[in-house]
Amino acid sequence: SRSTRQWQQADSAHFLHPFTDHAALARKGARIITRAEGIYLWDSEGHKILDAMSGLWCVNTGYGQQGLVDAATRQMQELPFYNAFFQTSTPPAIELAELLAEVTPPQFDKVFFTCSGSEGNDTVVRMVRHYWASLGQPQRRILISRHNGYHGSTMAGASLGGMSGMHAQGGLPIPDIHHIQQPHWFEHGQGQSREDFGLTAAHWLEDKILELGPERVAAFIGEPVQGAGGVIVPPSTYWPEIQRICDKYGILLVSDEVICGFGRTGQWFGCETMGTRPDLMTFAKGVTSGYVPLGGVMVSQRVSDVLASHGEFNHGFTYSGHPVACAVATANIRLIQQMNLVAHVRQNIGPYLAQRLQDVAAHPLVGEVQSCAMMAAVQLVQDKAKLQCFKPELEVGMLCRAHCFGNGLIMRAVGDRMIIAPPLVMSRAQVDEMVNLILHCLDLSLQELQQ
Ligand code: PLP
């Protein structure tokens, strides 16, 4: 095999990475990850790393699940590919569709398969507009989403997303997509109780609907807990009020469950944790635990009845319902069921993580810790008493991330918010190990800042 240096040279010569500063990459060289087991990764230098990000929020059942490998192997041997266009179907796609209808909330009876979360959200944009046009209301075209939300990297996904850095490249958003502010108490709500702020933030949706004209608004889309925006856990009052506002104006509610789905929040889906009843739901990532690419949109009867009676929905991907991906997803969901993983998160490991994060919250560098079962954010601050942040140009989050990287822990930095979303299969001893590593890396970061 090649040396790390050789891998890095070839990588920087030929591989244009997603979301990467290539000048920095060329200087430092990529970290080459070569294998994984359970919640751990190993790099090409043989270092063991605790993966507190589940890859990219997706390896819910952990690495090395032989059952998923076997499902893929069997399906590749039997029928590696067939499509679902033009009145054909395959057993693995049918079985997965049936199983998804079983594990998702009762309003969902059908699924549209995609290969990713981004494609799922693109599908949502076309589907809701087609839905309203079919009902004779083609003027209902607008989708509302939130600043700092993340809904993917396709044109529609990045438009729905509220990442200004993404909008700046490529002339986004596309027309008829509008944004409201995020329910981020730390940034926008201090001075109000969290509960009051939740209602204030939900009313930004109503204000926006009235500004645009309710008869023009097709849907509202949001992540139950914003992930890539920095694990923004909304106050408990937020989502029920959003639901009430959508109901009041007859607007479709779309839950982007790409991160929150498949157990991460302690229920099968984040909308169940937050108390909403969405009409559409996007998923990806955890559906296969990331072993193979698969995504989709769960469609409630309200929408599927209309779609079914208005001709053809001119939309689809070669790999919509890919047999191998579907076989792996079915094996993964069955594994979640057999391991009782959702209850493990809700009753055991989620509450234990929240308890252990109290130690992290007490650290002098930490202003607040927010968590929702198996996703959490640690806000780094300069002044703990005044909750005063560091100057952004100091890049304290990146400094802390580098200490994590050097000490066998993967955490993500969103500005100065340090993010974890570890595999759901963690034991209590592994939570202890992770929290001790976090505390150690916070100590090292503080030492460096005080030098
Ligand atoms: N939606 C959310 C909430 C996500 O976090 C992501 C990816 O991180 C996406 C959509 C896009 O999914 P994908 O990267 O599979 O296209």
Instruction: Residue 326: give its domain's CATH number.
Output: 3.40.640.10
- Residue-level pLDDT at 329: 99
* Banded pLDDT at 170 (limits 50, 70, 90): confident
Same domain for 38 and 177, yes or no, is: no
Q: Of all protein residues, whose CA lies closest to atom 1 belonging to ligand 1?
A: 151
Q: Which atom of ligand 1 is nearest to the CA of 284?
A: 15
Cβ–ligand 1 distance for 117 under 6 Å, the answer yes
What distances in angstroms separate CA 148 from CA 84, 202, 242, 422, 429, one per listed residue? 35, 16, 18, 22, 34
Other beta carbons less than 10 A from residue 371's beta carbon = 19
Q: Of all protein residues, whose CA lies closest to atom 13 belonging to ligand 1?
A: 117
The mean pLDDT value for 2-29 works out to 95
Cβ–ligand 1 distance for 160 under 6 Å, the answer no
* Banded pLDDT at 178 (limits 50, 70, 90): very high
The mean pLDDT value for 49-67 works out to 98
- Residue-level pLDDT at 58: 98
Q: Is the dihedral of CA 326, 410, 234, 173 positive or negative?
A: negative
Instruction: Residue 352: give its domain's CATH number.
Output: 3.90.1150.10
Is pLDDT of 417 > 90? yes
Cα of 120 vs centre of ligand 1, distance in Å, is 9
Same domain for 202 and 290, yes or no, is: yes
Q: Of all protein residues, whose CA lies closest to atom 7 belonging to ligand 1?
A: 152
The mean pLDDT value for 337-344 works out to 98
- Residue-level pLDDT at 273: 98
Residues in the chain: 451
Domain boundary among 308, 338, 368: 338
Residue 372 forms beta bridges with which residues? 375
Cβ–ligand 1 distance for 272 under 6 Å, the answer no
Radius of gyration of the chain (CA): 22
Lookup: tokens for 238: 């937020």
- Residue-level pLDDT at 431: 98
* Top mutation candidate among 166, 260, 280, 285 for ligand 1, by most atoms within 8 Å of CB: 285
Cα of 117 vs centre of ligand 1, distance in Å, is 5
- Residue-level pLDDT at 362: 98
Distance between CA 52 and CA 188 in Å, rounded? 28
| DSSP code per residue over 325-338 | HHHHHHHHHHHHHH
Is pLDDT of 209 > 90? yes
- Domain annotation covers residue 103: yes
Cβ–ligand 1 distance for 344 under 6 Å, the answer no
The mean pLDDT value for 386-401 works out to 96
Distance between CA 10 and CA 133 in Å, rounded? 50
- Domain annotation covers residue 16: no
The mean pLDDT value for 297-319 works out to 96
The mean pLDDT value for 55-70 works out to 98
Share of the chain above pLDDT 70, in %: 100
Cα of 204 vs centre of ligand 1, distance in Å, is 24
Domain boundary among 338, 372, 400: 338
Cβ–ligand 1 distance for 257 under 6 Å, the answer no
247-272 b/e (C-beta count within 10 Å ≥ 16 → b): eeeebbbbbbbbbbbbbbbbbbbbbb
Same domain for 413 and 368, yes or no, is: yes
SS3 403: helix
The mean pLDDT value for 340-360 works out to 98
- Residue-level pLDDT at 1: 86
- Residue-level pLDDT at 447: 97
Total domain count, the chain: 2
Cβ–ligand 1 distance for 422 under 6 Å, the answer no
* Banded pLDDT at 157 (limits 50, 70, 90): very high
Task: Count Cβ atoms within 10 A of the Cβ of residue 17 and give its class: 0-12 exposed, 13-18 middle, 19 or more buried.
Answer: exposed
The mean pLDDT value for 148-164 works out to 96
Contact, 248 vs 281, CB < 8 A?
no
The mean pLDDT value for 194-218 works out to 98
What distances in angstroms separate CA 253 from CA 75, 81, 249, 258, 298, one per listed residue? 35, 34, 11, 15, 12
Average model confidence (pLDDT) across the chain: 97
Range of the structural domain that residue 394 is part of: 31-61+340-450
Same domain for 266 and 383, yes or no, is: no
The mean pLDDT value for 297-322 works out to 97
* Banded pLDDT at 376 (limits 50, 70, 90): very high
Distance between CA 36 and CA 19 in Å, rounded? 23
Distance between CA 89 and CA 360 in Å, rounded? 50
Same domain for 308 and 383, yes or no, is: no
